Amino acid sequence: MRQRSVFDIIGPVMVGPSSSHTAGAARLGALARAIAGAEVRSAEVVLHGSFASTGRGHGTDVALVAGLLGLAPDDPRIPEAKALAEKAGMRVSFAEGDLGDVHPNTARITVVTVDGARVLVQGSSLGAGDVEVTLIDDFPVRLTGELPALGVVHHDQPGVVAAVSARLAADVINIASMQVFRERRGARALMIIETDGPVPDETAAGISALPGVIAARSVPAV
């Protein structure tokens, strides 16, 4: 269990009005951008539960756009996020929907990057600015954004996890946690590896070239 800090009690440093609907939403947007790995050209956002019913009044939509732009939860430009997005040529649309048995403060964000990549990220704002991504494309995951991470899409075959771990060790990168999810036996799989420090792009590129690996991407903490 994560040890509680003073920020769990008094709340994070942020632009208000709400830690869950504003600060958490900004972090979710930023985490979706980080997972996508490039600047966002457009995004389609589905708001669920409390995000759908009261989120707009709390600025959830504005905060999500701010995060997709890469703004931090305490950035004073958050109230101007929609205007900044329009100026940058980034289009974001919002809809309300039922995403099933998930946290009431949940958003499903489908991002298209300037490179043309399309990534689906679903996550929840848990309060006090804490967030958790629970879905990346077709893979159920658990990613909080509190630590840097490495996402590795690979074939489900023997030796891949060991090879990736060995490359991280060779580059003196310590693994804090590792999760492995697969579509089915022998199909595609996804490793989410949280690390004590950022994974350099050259390390991610080297892992991408390993046998059995389809792609690897460094995801910074947000």
Q: Is the pLDDT of residue 11 over 80?
A: no
Mean pLDDT of 73-83: 93
Domains of the chain, CATH where assigned = 6-143 (3.30.1330.90), 149-219 (3.30.70.260)
Q: Is the pLDDT of residue 5 over 80?
A: no
Range scoring the smallest mean pLDDT among 23-32, 51-60, 205-214: 51-60
The neighbour count for residue 100, using CB atoms within 10 Å, is 7
Mean pLDDT of 38-53: 95
pTM of the model: 0.86
Instruction: Tell me the C-alpha distance between 109 and 94, whole Å.
Output: 9
pLDDT band at 194 (very low <50, low <70, confident <90, very high): very high
Q: What's residue 103's pLDDT?
A: 95
Q: Render pLDDT for 139-165 as a digit per residue (tens, 0 to 9).
A: 999 999 999 999 999 999 999 999 999
Mean pLDDT of 131-145: 94
Instruction: Tell me the C-alpha distance between 218 and 122, whole Å.
Output: 18
Q: Tokens for 195, please give them.
A: 């690390």
Is the separation of the CB atoms in 189 and 182 below 8 Å?
yes
